[in-house]
Amino acid sequence: MTRLSVNINKIATLRNARGGNMPDVTKAALDCERFGAEGITVHPRPDERHIRYSDVRIIRPLVTTEFNIEGNPIPSFVDLVNEVVPDQVTLVPDAHDAITSNAGWDTLKNRDFLTDICKEFKAHGIRTSIFVDPDPRMAEGAAVCGADRVELYTADYAAEYPLGREAAIARYLETAKAARDCGLGLNAGHDLSLENLAYFVEVIPWTDEVSIGHAIICDALYMGLERTIAAYLAEIRKK
């Protein structure tokens, strides 16, 4: 069954906008688990505009489901991951000034670098996932690099979904099949929402995990966090 990992970055963004510790990011992570989330995702960036490295160190020993750290494997990020040893690390090629992740890795051009990074994290017993665009060649390249999973960057799927869901998911289905054929696990994330989530996991039921943050926090403003997480779990389980 597809697992729901809640990305708590936006909660940290709200805290950082005012200073202090409101909302409490650690409490939010534990509440997400208590409300049914099957994982917690954080994506620390060098400027610490949302999740801070210190947050990661505090939250890691408290999470009882699955802890996933996303980020660009610059030296400080690599050191942090090796220090806290999450269940999963997701490699994302975002620039230091990116507002949000906006592309996957070219696993062919970056094969040597990604191979070294995967080898290092796997030596620490960390499942390693590579963030890729919906292109079968990128999934196949991730397998060559030694990744355990790929995470499909689903922004295009979300944008195209209102125009025709079958066309929107076609490239994702092709890439998901390629990943499966290579023996890779499959994650997905970016702009997945209550509108488009159920169809994604219906068509690609071997999706291991979806990581969702922005939409969950937006919906929680109206529905509350507990009801929102329950609603997302219901969408996943419609398949």
> Can you tell me whether residue 125 is helix, strand or coil?
coil
Is 202 labeled as catalytic in the residue annotation? Answer: no
Is 50 labeled as catalytic in the residue annotation? Answer: no
Find the catalytic residue in 70, 140, 151, 209.
Answer: 70
How far is Cα 31 from Cα 197, in angstroms, rounded to an integer? Answer: 22
Give me 216's structure tokens. Answer: 């969950």
Find the catalytic residue in 43, 151, 209, 235.
Answer: 43
Find the catalytic residue in 50, 140, 151, 190.
Answer: 190
Q: What is the DSSP string of 67-78?
A: EEEEE---HHHH
Give me 207's structure tokens. Answer: 């999706």
Give me 111's structure tokens. Answer: 């094969």
Distances (CA, A) of 80 to 75, 77, 96: 9, 5, 16
Is 43 labeled as catalytic in the residue annotation? Answer: yes
Q: Which residues are catalytic?
A: 43, 70, 190
